[in-house]
Amino acid sequence: MANLFRLPVLLPFLLLATAAVVVTGDELRTFIVHVQPRENQEFETAEYRTAWYKTFLPEDGRLLHAYHHVASGFAARLSQRELDVVSAMPGFVSAVPDQRYRLLTTHTPQFLGLNVQQGVRNYTSDRGAGVIVALLDTGIFPDHPSFSGDGMPPPPAKWKGRCDFNGSSCNNKLIGARDFITDAAASAANSNDSRAPPVDNVGHGTHTASTAAGAIVPGAQVLGQAMGVAAGMAPRAHIAMYKVCDEVGCAGSDILAGIDAAVGDGCDIISMSLGGPSMPFHQDPIAIGTLGAIEKGVFVSMAGGNSGPDAGSLSNEAPWMLTVAASTMDRSIRATVRLGNGLYFRGQSLYQPENLGSVFYPLVYAGASGKPSAALCANGSLDGLDVRGKIVLCDLGYGGGWISKGAVVQSAGGVGMILVNQFLEGYDTMAAAHVLPASHVDYAAGSAIKSYINSTTNATAQIVFPGTKLGTSPAPSIVFFSSRGPNAQDPGILKPDVTGPGMNVLAAWPFQVGPPSATPVPGPTFNIISGTSMSTPHLSGIAAFIKSNHPDWSPAAIKSAIMTTADIDDRSGNPLLDEQRSPASFFATGAGHVNPEKATNPGLVYDIDPSDYVGYLCGMYTSQEVSVVARRPVNCSTIPAIPSSQLNYPSISVSVPSNTTQPVVVRRTVKNVGEVPSSYYAAVDMPETVVGVSVYPSRLDFTEANQENVFLVLVWPKQNGTRVVQAAFRWVSETHTVRSPISVTFT
Ligand SMILES: *[C@@H]1O[C@H](CO)[C@@H](O)[C@H](O)[C@H]1NC(C)=O
Ligand SMILES: *[C@@H]1O[C@H](CO)[C@@H](O)[C@H](O)[C@H]1NC(C)=O
Ligand SMILES: *[C@@H]1O[C@H](CO)[C@@H](O)[C@H](O)[C@H]1NC(C)=O
Ligand SMILES: *[C@@H]1O[C@H](CO)[C@@H](O)[C@H](O)[C@H]1NC(C)=O
Ligand SMILES: *[C@@H]1O[C@H](CO)[C@@H](O)[C@H](O)[C@H]1NC(C)=O
Ligand SMILES: *[C@@H]1O[C@H](CO)[C@@H](O)[C@H](O)[C@H]1NC(C)=O
Ligand SMILES: *[C@@H]1O[C@H](CO)[C@@H](O)[C@H](O)[C@H]1NC(C)=O
Ligand SMILES: *[C@@H]1O[C@H](CO)[C@@H](O)[C@H](O)[C@H]1NC(C)=O
Ligand SMILES: *[C@@H]1O[C@H](CO)[C@@H](O)[C@H](O)[C@H]1NC(C)=O
């Protein structure tokens, strides 16, 4: 559970915490119940289907959600005894208890190579035109200029959704807004009123929505920092908000209802900055609902989780989703620590007060008292220690959020705080809205500052605030919290898929929510927060403008375009690094860092027909389990199972027995979406000599648009040993490079 605590206020990835469930026979609990109609039973309208669902229930009032598009079933309040009765009824397939979920840009367009003219309101880009992006989140603050309908065309005719805000809050930018929170345990204001407007009392949903498809807003800043033009990745796309989470958390049954509605309403992209522990797909309402969405042509972008850097810490691992990691950008909001001995260290703080002056203050490490809680500046831990008028060094970690550590120091009379990374956070620092002069420094700087404190009886320091700096390096680099592979549900699919900006991201914020310590600055409110919650809507918006350019591409083709064109080097031309400044593995980066311009024109794509996922699932699960995910009766003995390595994925993950020299053979199909005619040559990148990789044939010729070619990738061990090896192959033409990572695990 450590990751729950490792994510203080600034990392609002919505973490699914499995609630402890007390089962007594008569207590009502929420279940997601999967049912299947008889073979010839069809429902002309949603009302008829809902009426059929109700026949399973002891009384109408128990139904919470009826699913129509992406699940065959419903959510209802039932006692265990009643569930036993339901389970015996014809048509019943399975039931899972609902899970209680817990709450766990100005610069990014330019950083990603997208041309945003600074200071220009009338922005002529049509990135995302005609595309509807659904966000399943904490609601939205509709009156923010990031959701202005100025200059936006009406939504496409296929839009069938609705807006539950009153008055003119919705417009051609924010076209839909609904609240799906039904559970009585959720906030009182929203319980039992599905028509309540989806007001954002958290900030998370407003932030993610504006990152994906917010309008162009000049003069964006937070506490005077990171000044610039805020713009979503797809500023022409339409936004539909489906509120499924609030400050208490989110329920799986509500999330599934949100997916169901987004698909039914005609959305093109679903963006979900939430997740939970890894679980088998047939028990995971998000995996089930998103497969339904993909079958209807809806692209799904999901956060990989904030449980890094531990291996195997990913969420949302199904192959039909885009699983997004988080990385830094080249912006730092600097707060420099100067020591009495002349050394200085660069940290970050969003709160940039007038300089403390040239005065050096006494510097103390409360942890030197031997009290572990004091090292962390936990609430109450500084009582009885003399920190008045001093700068206090605090370790990150348990003991409250980062901003509250500052409040503890301040209330104990401290004048400043140096927040120090533990080893695992490495070189990553956050620009937080601290309540007092502060600097968040990396682990190495923290160790040096501690040594200095140890070396003298008279340690002194000052913190100076140089403000926002661009062009910092290394950037991008993988952030410590970004969850890592391998994929626990299926090691045969390499996850995460791709990384995007998720550290210190500026985007819209409801003025009534914060930011915490600010003296309000006139104008719209923005905030800077971090998480895979922030990288995910970047990818959703990028998917929206790819979809806008290529309306006929499938979700798998869009995902392939994003993955095969991703950057594997940082802005200095070095391999992508992680939080320790070590080269990041594929289990951290996936295919690499998104390159939006290249992704719109990839040359070749690896497409997947949604029906292939059923064969894929048959390779993993029983027919009954596959039927739940596929929402229809599936007999796996009658369809060919597709081993995961043979799914037409844009990356490859294979296990190779180390005691043989037999190659593992992986088959792939690429479709030409580029120039005609064109020829591609295979190139293999194999930094290690422990495996052999070859591609056959080594040349592919395309004479028609959308022509497909099949090829084989052979992987064989060259020497013994149990380990993971990372390689890649590329299809290279005169104009394109189509790259696929290969992860090889020796068994
Ligand atoms: C935006 O600029 C374009 C071209 O410069 C112009 O035609 C259009 O009228 C402008 N739109 C608005 C709303 O000012
Ligand atoms: C609109 O909604 C807000 C809050 O949801 C409410 O305070 C206000 O009274 C409503 N206005 C109208 C005209 O219904
Ligand atoms: C919802 O509200 C209605 C009337 O306001 C009430 O009759 C019903 O029992 C409520 N349902 C739940 C599940 O609380
Ligand atoms: C510390 O705890 C006290 C008493 O529980 C509370 O009033 C105060 O707000 C807390 N301070 C912080 C910074 O959390
Ligand atoms: C500081 O000194 C203490 C006790 O002498 C020692 O335990 C600790 O490791 C030292 N810390 C550093 C950072 O040198
Ligand atoms: C402590 O340090 C300050 C500034 O670095 C210096 O002016 C002062 O003389 C020092 N005091 C002692 C006792 O070393
Ligand atoms: C599945 O198909 C196999 C082969 O056709 C058949 O023997 C089996 O009875 C089927 N199972 C079910 C549950 O229909
Ligand atoms: C490789 O090792 C596995 C497991 O130890 C064994 O089952 C298999 O027969 C071995 N294969 C060869 C070719 O030695
Ligand atoms: C691996 O080791 C086994 C036994 O030590 C040997 O028989 C086999 O040839 C080796 N395989 C390779 C690929 O070197």
Classified as helix, coil or strand, 68 is coil
CB of 462 sitting under 6 A from ligand 6:
no
Instruction: Name the catalytic one among 34, 68, 107, 137.
Output: 137
> Which region among 3-12, 497-506, 685-694 has the lowest average model confidence (pLDDT)?
3-12
Residues 6+ apart with CB under 8 A from 44: none
Q: Is the pTM value of this prediction over 0.85?
A: yes
Expressed in angstroms and rounded, the spacing between residue 62 Cα and the centre of ligand 3 is 10
Q: Residue 497 above 50 pLDDT?
A: yes
Residues 123-139 pLDDT 10s:
456 889 999 999 999 99
Whether ligand 3 lies within 6 angstroms of the CB of 61 is answered as: yes
* CB 624 near ligand 7, within 6 Å: no
Token couple for 658: 């180390």
What is the identity of the amino acid at 324? V
Task: Check residue 9 and report its DSSP letter.
Answer: T
CATH architecture of 648-746: Sandwich (2.60)
CA 356 to centroid of ligand 5, rounded, Å: 28
Catalytic residue from among 68, 69, 204, 238: 204
Instruction: From residue 292, give the alpha-carbon distance in Å to each of 271, 286, 288, 730.
Output: 15, 10, 7, 32
Q: How confident is the model at residue 512 (pLDDT cuts 50, 70, 90)?
A: confident
CATH of domain 331-465: 3.50.30.30
**Cβ 660 under 6 angstroms from ligand 8:** yes
Q: So what CATH class is 102-329+477-602?
A: alpha beta
pLDDT of residue 544: 97
Q: How many helices and strands, by DSSP H and E, does the chain display?
A: 16, 35
Q: Which ligand is nearest to the CA of 139?
A: 2
* Ligand 8 pocket check for 640: Cβ under 6 Å: no
Report how far ligand 3's centroid is from the alpha carbon of 190 (Å). 12
Q: Which atom of ligand 4 is nearest to the CA of 404?
A: 13
Q: Are 432 and 506 in contact (CB under 8 A)?
A: no
**How confident is residue 402, by pLDDT bands cut at 50, 70 and 90?**
confident
d(CA 581, CA 340): 28
> How many A from CA of 396 to the centre of ligand 6?
29
593 given a catalytic annotation: no
DSSP 8-state secondary structure symbol assigned to residue 380: T
662 lines ligand 8 (CB under 6 A): no
pLDDT in tens, 698-724: 999 999 999 999 999 999 888 776 688
Average pLDDT over residues 94-118: 66
Q: Is the distance from CB of 363 to CB of 393 less than 8 angstroms? A: yes
Return the axis-axis angle of helices 611-618 and 623-630, rounded to nearest 10°.
150
Angle at 285 between CA 177 and CA 258, to 5 degrees: 5
Residue 458 tokens read as 């008279």
Cα gap 636→634, rounded to integer Å: 6
Out of 454, 455, 456, give the residue to mutate to test ligand 5, the one with the largest number of ligand atoms within 8 Å of its CB. Answer: 454
Marked catalytic residue, from 533, 560, 733, 743: 533
Question: What pLDDT does 722 receive?
Answer: 63
Q: Is 659 in the pocket of ligand 8 (CB under 6 A)?
A: yes
What is residue 604's predicted lDDT score, i.e. its pLDDT?
A: 98
The verdict on the CB of residue 457 being under 6 Å from ligand 1 is no
Query: Poorest-confidence range of 6-20, 570-584, 637-651, 698-712?
Result: 6-20
For the structural domain made of 3-98, what CATH number should be given?
3.30.70.80
CA-nearest residue, atom 14 of ligand 7: 635
Q: Are 502 and 331 in contact (CB under 8 A)?
A: no
| Exposed / middle / buried, residue 216 (Cβ in 10 Å: 0-12, 13-18, 19+) | buried
Among 98-107, 377-386, 592-601, whose mean pLDDT is lowest? 98-107
Instruction: Tell me which residue has tokens 């998103």.
Output: 290
In the chain, what are the domain boundaries?
A: 3-98, 102-329+477-602, 331-465, 609-642, 648-746
Contacts of 737 (CB under 8 A, 6+ apart): 565, 603, 730, 731
Q: Whose Cα sits closest to atom 14 in ligand 2?
A: 166
**pLDDT (tens digit per residue) in 294-330:** 999 999 999 999 888 999 999 999 999 999 999 999 9
